[in-house]
Structure 1
């Protein structure tokens, strides 16, 4: 519900979920002089006041226990905004790129899930999708104001993030409270897209994203030339994509090189400039900042694919992003749950072993940054498909991380994670965390271990399990020094914890 001068941020609407047991931040704008200069917010029996300053206002309502539905009113004494059907429960923000964005209806069994939504579950989960707008267009604020929190129905939930849907399903079922997700994601985006220019400028490596953007945009003589190039690209892309779709419809197994030979070389994602969704800091400004600091329990985050061109600095980028988001939400302790990248390689693509580097950086971030979790999904990747369709298990493993780290439950949430090693003559003995009850081998044998001596020339190795330890050896390496496991973009995954969660990619020496 809107009024003439008094407005709340677009993320506040009917059916919203507000975070339980925390101060609830409410904010908005005021576009003219107010006689009272004060805004009053009431929710159930709680009341707070805000002072209008420079056209904005914000206030905090005191913590509330889970419950509802409630009504909220915001008034300046003349104009009043009223929101209905508000629930107090758990709120998480789902960030990242295309694998977080992938819609429930497009995931494995998604259409059946959407068509047969369980009414008991539907009453406990809600969703707010931040509108995907890459720049502040003339229609930006109208589009934003048209958004609202959605109830879970067959007409709505199909467009929700599949990972987020299954995450909140697990939370709502186990915690028995209403769970709300704020979806803030866009395919093909680097971590730099979701971080402010101020933060990127602080670091020499992170700043390369800004420098490259400036170089690419400098190719245009003017903003008008850039806009013309965008129009040309959009027109070309529409025609090109139809050709590509037709080729895959005719022959689903056609090689990508053949597709481009026939349809033309791929020019995606187009000209880089002030309208580009992939420009550094862009979506941070037009999407993420529009919903901060909405009171949250924490973040779930699935991203990294787009940063595989700079895998060695990804850990730095990720830690910077976590710091940025926590700073924006005024809480350095906000939980941040990562999804580690799975196995993946495109057909015809050389294995440059940059995805295991990303996985390693994600694990290091989890191990060194407080209040983080990591969902290892090495086994859920698909060959030649960067968007694996099995999202239910991704959401479940994220929920296990939340239960363990955030809600204090004794659940088995990890597969084996490398801890340290001992070298014995021609064998290396490996120790692991989260492997006290041993390992589960899927398949005829353990695949993926490699071993090397001082020369760092790795060869396939034989791995033998003894209780909660693994011994690695090879006849080709008499004096081994290094071991690595599944250090590849794509390959079979055979080693798991007894809980069915796979062992994560690792190497015993990061310089090997």
Structure 2
């Protein structure tokens, strides 16, 4: 479904050995961003066995941390909290040698993961030349890219770095994730402090590759697949090595590869992966990364305009743990960018790869501002049904907010049934045209049901490609955010007991 890259599976615990040399681990470097206060940044590396390593910080403020001994070839130091800013020099020294990181900033570090739409490069998006030319205007937004490597066992350090920490330039950013960069740039414009962006993604990969064995076991998923689709092989090599790094949060764009692979389990496997990442980062960073760090994701866009398959609607639904919106009781402190109204039929990279990543990233920033940073009165959720009522010929939807409505004959569908039973994909779904609307309500016709049938379920935008670009019928008033898809069943015979599956 998306571009893949051949990979050689690495059968090593780590390719890094100290050889008595004092140095930082692979993902520390000049120009990097370390996590600011109130969290503390964690630094680690390699050195001669038994040597005492002292880490010092010089810049707008200074600190010298207590020395730590090298054990089993590695050392680790947790800095005292540092306020946003810089630049700093960070020096690690033994009595006989020293190594330093220069031009280091303190800010918020975000991890960007997923498959090809997260990896989709800056030089491929709409308005790419302008975007790349302006990267130099954001010297406090720093990118870093993990190389595409897989491993059969959990690694201590990265096998390879594709792009070391860099001050942004057109050259450095041309092959960097557009969603990741734009998210970081927009967040910087709001927060006005440094942002570090760690790209670790791979096209054509399912969630199982990015999940630890323990996370998959919670969902009853065993070993299948090959190369980069094998369970846990990308977790082992591209996530596990990063766990000691203190991060603010993560954003994620993935799910296309699970439309045909363990689709029914995605409502378990995706939330389980999030839970497991949170626990692992928190424990491995010595408690510095929050145990519930904010996690944002992109609900899938589109694939095939003529498709009648339920694969994409099902995964969109499963991305929310089958509740239709986030945050929710199963996926707390998460946020979502709805993207089904951003199709790109003429994309030279296939319509599965829409070029409008600006709107995707912007919608993610709204969620981050509200969920991760606690900004009040930031609109980040599209309209979702608060109440559904039905009569013999109509269904009325009351939304949880004010909506703008455009007429549509097909975006809503009802399941027509003569029995009181949950409707599934094999039941008869027919269009429910919009006939009236108000500030928060939409009234739908169920006239296509047979005389002996009633509306037993209602769904919205339950198609691979439900509408044209920014032309879905239901949006939020004010901040223009599309209503997410939903499927809601009717229970009982009173007409006012409806709930999500």
Query: TM-score interval w.r.t. the shorter chain?
Result: 0.7 to 0.9
Q: Shift of residue 136 of structure 1?
A: 8.5
1:216: which partner in 2?
Answer: none
1:160: which partner in 2?
Answer: 176
1:268: which partner in 2?
Answer: none
1:381 matched to 2:381? The reply is no
Does the aligned pair in 2 maintain the 1:3–1:81 contact within 8 Å?
no
2:148: which partner in 1?
Answer: 132
1:117 matched to 2:82? The reply is no
Q: Distance in 2 between matches of 1:63 and 1:295?
A: 11
1:279: which partner in 2?
Answer: 230
2:381: which partner in 1?
Answer: 414
1:74: which partner in 2?
Answer: 92
| SS of equivalent residue, structure 1 residue 508 | strand
RMSD over aligned Cα, in angstroms?
Answer: 2.4
Does the aligned pair in 2 maintain the 1:446–1:495 contact within 8 Å?
no
Structure 1, residues 52-101: CA drift from partner, whole Å, max 9, x if none? 22222222112111110000001222221101001111110000000000
1:470 matched to 2:442? The reply is yes
The one of 323, 326, 334 aligned to 2:293? 334
Q: Distance in 1 between matches of 2:69 and 2:384?
A: 51
The one of 243, 258, 273 aligned to 1:292? 243
| SS of equivalent residue, structure 2 residue 274 | helix
1:40: which partner in 2?
Answer: 54
Does the aligned pair in 1 maintain the 2:179–2:357 contact within 8 Å?
yes
The one of 281, 303, 312 aligned to 2:264? 312
Structure 1, residues 437-464: CA drift from partner, whole Å, max 9, x if none? 32243xx546410112335411101223
2:487: which partner in 1?
Answer: 507
Does the aligned pair in 1 maintain the 2:152–2:236 contact within 8 Å?
no
Note closer, same or farther for the CA distance 1:118–1:52 as it changes in structure 2 (3 Å cut). Answer: closer
Does the aligned pair in 1 maintain the 2:86–2:104 contact within 8 Å?
yes
1:95 matched to 2:113? The reply is yes
Structure 1, residues 298-323: CA drift from partner, whole Å, max 9, x if none? 00000000011232211111011101
| SS of equivalent residue, structure 1 residue 156 | helix
User: How does 1:51-450 map onto structure 2 within 5 Å?
Assistant: 51-114=69-132, 116-117=133-134, 119=136, 121-135=137-151, 144=160, 147-204=163-220, 206-207=221-222, 210=223, 212-213=224-225, 272=226, 276-309=227-260, 310-330=262-282, 331-345=290-304, 350-364=307-321, 366=326, 367=328, 368-383=330-345, 385-409=351-375, 410-433=377-400, 435=401, 437-441=402-406, 445=408, 447-450=410-413
2:415: which partner in 1?
Answer: 452
1:15: which partner in 2?
Answer: 31
Does the aligned pair in 2 maintain the 1:299–1:336 contact within 8 Å?
yes
Q: Distance in 1 between matches of 2:172 and 2:415?
A: 53
Q: Distance in 2 between matches of 1:55 and 1:198?
A: 28
Does the aligned pair in 1 maintain the 2:159–2:237 contact within 8 Å?
no
Does the aligned pair in 2 maintain the 1:297–1:334 contact within 8 Å?
yes
| SS of equivalent residue, structure 1 residue 480 | strand
| SS of equivalent residue, structure 1 residue 159 | coil
Structure with a larger share of its residues in helix? 1
Q: Shift of residue 194 of structure 1?
A: 0.6
Note closer, same or farther for the CA distance 1:494–1:343 as it changes in structure 2 (3 Å cut). Answer: farther
Q: Which runs of 5+ in 2 are unaligned?
A: 1-17, 283-289, 419-426, 490-498
| SS of equivalent residue, structure 2 residue 341 | helix
Structure 1, residues 114-142: CA drift from partner, whole Å, max 9, x if none? 1x2254x32221100011123489xx989
2:495: which partner in 1?
Answer: none
Segment of structure 1 superposing worse, 46-55 or 281-290: 46-55
Note closer, same or farther for the CA distance 1:511–1:23 as it changes in structure 2 (3 Å cut). Answer: closer
1:252: which partner in 2?
Answer: none
Q: Shift of residue 397 of structure 1?
A: 0.6
In the TM superposition, structure 1's runs of 4+ consecutive aligned residues that sit over 4 Å from their partners are: 140-143
TM-score, normalised relative to structure 1 = 0.79
TM-score, normalised relative to structure 2 = 0.81
| SS of equivalent residue, structure 1 residue 287 | helix
Q: Shift of residue 361 of structure 1?
A: 1.4
Does the aligned pair in 2 maintain the 1:451–1:472 contact within 8 Å?
no
